[in-house]
């Protein structure tokens, strides 16, 4: 698979990565560990070198899964993980009874990093993100704490997740930020206003999570879809029957382009992201080999300038219905 560098850094990864959250967390009951290990190894065999996890996924068990499965390929892959939440045994397995509290105090960052190193079974974390900006801790202190870990050789690169433009600038002034992870797709384009121009100016890569709209942009979800209580989409405003029905206009848009390229809806959605900037690396998640191979195939889909203009023209006439998160979680983004 084609490789890309995240911004102006020397961190090179596959053009499409793999988000591992759903293997252990948020999308229904945790999947079989042996099956997920096989899927992770199949991803490496097919050219994926960029894997995304976090301590909160499970919590904890996703890091263990990723670390164990990828141990034989340690020199071939880049593993990203995240800190920033206060986790306790009482945390709801779905993480949706109310988010755990934020904690990015420097001493907590160090403790979280040490624990992630142990669970991943590695000597160095390739890319360490702050999962959400903590309004009670100056971002300069966060960047400084990660900078210390980098100087000690425990972390290679520093990242932020769902941070606003000014926070990115402040952090980058203390410790260079290699990547920002934020939701970005054809139905979540808010980063285009301020964040993406800031990343381009500073030479920071963008790692879009949920690049397929949590499955919606595959064209497989309509207003009749139902979600188990263990699937966090059951709590998202954008996944109510009314919103799903209204947002089918985006699926029609993808369908017209997909037919032209003999590609799937998901492949067009991912190819559109790849065409936006050469330093964008989406991390679609899946628990199925068929979907993994479909997503990888998106890297070979080349959208022409006319395709991109048509997508933008059609998308400009569509107003996406429904907030992407409940209010309590939405307040934790864009800070």
pLDDT (tens digit per residue) in 214-251: 999 999 999 999 999 999 999 999 999 999 999 999 99
pLDDT (tens digit per residue) in 315-333: 999 999 999 999 999 999 9
Given a contact cutoff of 8 angstroms between Cβ atoms, the answer to whether 295 and 266 are in contact is yes
Compute the average pLDDT of residues 114-125.
Answer: 98
Residue 185 pLDDT > 70, yes or no? yes
Dihedral class, residue 264 (left if φ above 0, else alpha if ψ from -120 to 50, else beta) = beta
User: Which of 91-95, 113-117, 118-122, 204-208 is predicted least confidently?
Assistant: 91-95
Q: Which of 223, 306, 283, 315 is nearest to 50 (CA)?
A: 283
User: Which of 39-53, 92-106, 262-276 is predicted least confidently?
Assistant: 92-106
Angle at 25 between CA 20 and CA 29, to 5 degrees: 120
Q: Quick one: pLDDT band at residue 150, thresholds 50, 70, 90?
A: very high
Rounded CA-CA distance 204/223 in Å is: 38
Q: Which domains does the chain have, with CATH numbers?
A: 3-330 (3.20.20.100)
Per-residue tokens: 182: 């934020």
Strand partners, 80: 52, 127
CA 110 to chain centre: 23
pLDDT (tens digit per residue) in 4-20: 999 999 999 999 999 99
Rounded CA-CA distance 178/175 in Å is: 9
Q: Quick one: pLDDT band at residue 99, thresholds 50, 70, 90?
A: low
Q: Is 325 a catalytic site residue?
A: no
Q: How many CB atoms lie within 10 A of CB 48?
A: 25
| Residue among 57, 129, 209, 325 flagged as catalytic | 57
Q: Mean pLDDT score of the chain, rounded to an integer?
A: 95
Q: Quick one: pLDDT band at residue 98, thresholds 50, 70, 90?
A: low
pTM of the model: 0.96
| φ and ψ at residue 268, rounded to 5 degrees | -70, -40
β-strands 18-19, 50-52 pairing = parallel
């Amino acid at each position: 698979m084609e490789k890309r560098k995240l911004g102006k850094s020397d961190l090179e990864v596959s053009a499409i990565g793999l988000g591992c959250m759903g293997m252990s967390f948020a999308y229904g009951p945790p999947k079989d560990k042996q099956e997920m290990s096989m899927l992770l190894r199949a991803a490496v065999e097919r050219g994926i070198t960029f894997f995304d996890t976090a301590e909160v996924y499970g919590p904890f068990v996703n890091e263990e899964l990723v670390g164990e499965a990828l141990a034989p390929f340690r020199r071939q892959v880049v593993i990203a993980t995240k800190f920033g939440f206060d986790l306790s045994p009482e945390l709801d397995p779905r993480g949706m009874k109310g988010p755990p509290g934020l904690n990015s105090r420097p001493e907590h960052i160090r403790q979280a990093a040490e624990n992630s190193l142990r669970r991943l079974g590695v000597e160095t974390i390739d890319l360490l993100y702050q999962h959400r900006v903590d309004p009670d801790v100056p971002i300069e202190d966060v960047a400084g704490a990660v900078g210390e870990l980098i100087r000690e050789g425990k972390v290679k690169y520093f990242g932020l997740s769902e941070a606003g433009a000014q926070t990115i600038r402040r952090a980058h002034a203390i410790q260079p930020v290699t990547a920002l992870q934020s939701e970005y797709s054809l139905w979540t384009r808010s980063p285009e206003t301020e964040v993406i121009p800031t990343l381009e100016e500073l030479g920071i890569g963008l790692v879009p999570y949920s690049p397929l709209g949590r499955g919606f942009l595959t064209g497989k979800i309509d207003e009749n879809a139902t979600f188990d209580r263990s699937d966090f989409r059951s709590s998202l405003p954008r996944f109510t029957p009314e919103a799903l029905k209204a947002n089918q206009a985006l699926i029609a848009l993808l369908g017209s382009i997909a037919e032209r390229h003999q590609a799937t809806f998901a492949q067009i959605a991912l190819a559109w992201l790849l065409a936006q900037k050469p330093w964008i690396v989406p991390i679609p998640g899946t628990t199925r080999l068929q979907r993994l191979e479909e997503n990888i195939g998106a890297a070979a889909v080349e959208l022409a300038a006319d395709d991109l203009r048509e997508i933008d023209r059609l998308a400009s006439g569509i107003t996406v219905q429904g907030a992407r998160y409940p209010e309590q979680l939405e307040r934790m983004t864009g800070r």
